[in-house]
Structure 1
Amino acid sequence: MILSPLQSLGIILTVAAVTFLTRLTPFVFFSGGKQTPKFVIYLGSVLPPAIMAILVVYCLRSIVFTSFPFGLPELIASIVVVVLHVWKRNTLISILSGTALYMVLVQVVFK
C-alpha cells in the first residue's frame, strides 16, 4: 500500500500530537502544587528496572545452547554490559558498548 503525501503527513501529525499529549498529561494532572500520588511515585521507581528485565529476557529468549556458537556472543556481550554498568553507572555507554560488541562478535568472530 503506497500512501499519498497527504496521508503520510496525516500520520506524522497524528503521531506527533499523541506523543505531545502523552508527555503533557503528567504536567496537567500533577501541577499546581498538588502532591504526586504515592502509587505514581512507586511505579516510577519499579517500572524502569522491570522493563529492562523484560527486554533482557526478550533479547535472550532465542539462544540455542546446543549448537555453535552456543550462546557465547550473547553471554560475552551481556557480561560486558553488566561490568560496564557497574563500573561507569552509565546506561547509554553500557548498552551501546554491549550492542556494538555483540554485532562484532556475530558478524566477525563467530561467523
Structure 2
Amino acid sequence: MTLTQEILTIAAVVAGTMATRFLPFLLFPEGRQPPAFVRYLGTVLPSAVIGLLVVFCLKDAVFTSWHGLPEVIGILFVGLLHKWKHNILLSIAGGTVLYMVLVQTVFA
C-alpha cells in the first residue's frame, strides 16, 4: 500500500468506528424514548449473541470421545460462576483460565 492508501484506510476505519459510536446518541437523544423495536432488540439480542457464540465455539468439538469434556466443563463452570457471582468478566475469565488449564494439562 502506498502512504496515501494507508492514510485513507485509517481515515475510513476511524470514520466507521466514530459513526457506530456516535450515531445511537444522535438518533436517540437522552430523554427521548427509543422505538419499541429498538427496545425489543435490546432485550433479546444479548441472549441471541451469547447463544450464537456458544454454538460457534462448539462447532468443532468432538463429543463422541473425551475431547468434548473440557468444553462441557468450561461451559458448566462459566454458568455456575456467573450464577454465583453475577460478574460477566469474572465468568468469562474464569471459564477461559479453567478451559486452558484443562486442555493443556489434564486432557493434553
| Gap regions ≥5 residues in structure 1 | none
Normalised to the residue count of structure 2, the TM-score between the two structures is: 0.88
Greater helix content: 2
Task: Single out whichever of 3-12 and 73-82 deviates more from structure 2.
Answer: 3-12
Instruction: State the identity %.
Output: 52
Answer yes or no: is 1:55 the counterpart of 2:53. Answer: yes
Distance 1:66 1:75 in 2: 13
Normalised to the residue count of structure 1, the TM-score between the two structures is: 0.86
| Gap regions ≥5 residues in structure 2 | none
Report Cα offsets for 1:14-60 as digits up to 9, x if no partner: 21210111111111111274321111111111101110011001111
Structural mapping, 1:61-100, within 5 Å: 61-67=59-65, 69-100=66-97
CA RMSD of aligned residues (A): 1.7
Distance 2:79 2:4 in 1: 46
Which structure 1 residue ranges, 4+ long, deviate > 4 Å from structure 2? none
Residue 95 of structure 1, CA deviation: 0.8
Change beyond 3 A, Cα 1:109–1:18 = same
